[in-house]
Amino acid sequence: MTDLDAIDTNILRHLEKDGRISNADLAKVVGLSASACLRRVQELERTGVIAGYRAVINREALGVGIVAYVGVGLSEHTKSAQEEFERVITAAPEVRECHNVSGTIEYLLRVEAQDLAAYKAFHLDILGNAPKLNSIITYIVMDSSKDERA
């Protein structure tokens, strides 16, 4: 684990908000010279604290009208059952995130679809045919008051 001081934490906070901020502007807001700021950012990248940069895509502009969180329980609690399920889910473009979780289910999925009909097709054709499936619980996102994913 990397030890971060208050300046590193401040740099990360600003980069999370705007990964395209110029080094000069970042240096100003964190109170460093441009060269000192650049060295710190490069060290955060080198040590893996900053894993990468990406664009935040407006999914609605791409036609995504439904976001759902889907809890999936499997009928078998074996490594092979999980691997089979993960193969199916990895191939499904509607699944934007797949998390193996603890608790009463094995997986929590974040699914995006054009509309309810498209989600239903995914639900029936992909999830419904997944191996070792025991239960599906779907939560449709109505609104998001906070979303800090980049």
The answer to whether the CB of 98 falls within 8 A of the CB of 86 is yes
With cut-offs at 50, 70 and 90, classify the pLDDT of residue 148.
Answer: confident
Which residues does 101 contact at the CB level (< 8 Å), separation at least 6? 107, 108
Total-model pTM: 0.81
Please state the rounded mean pLDDT for residues 70-98: 96
Of residues 17 and 95, the one with the higher pLDDT is: 95
CATH of domain 6-46: 1.10.10.10
List where CATH 3.30.70.920 sits in the chain: 59-140
With cut-offs at 50, 70 and 90, classify the pLDDT of residue 1.
Answer: low
Q: 59-140: what fold?
A: Alpha-Beta Plaits (3.30.70)
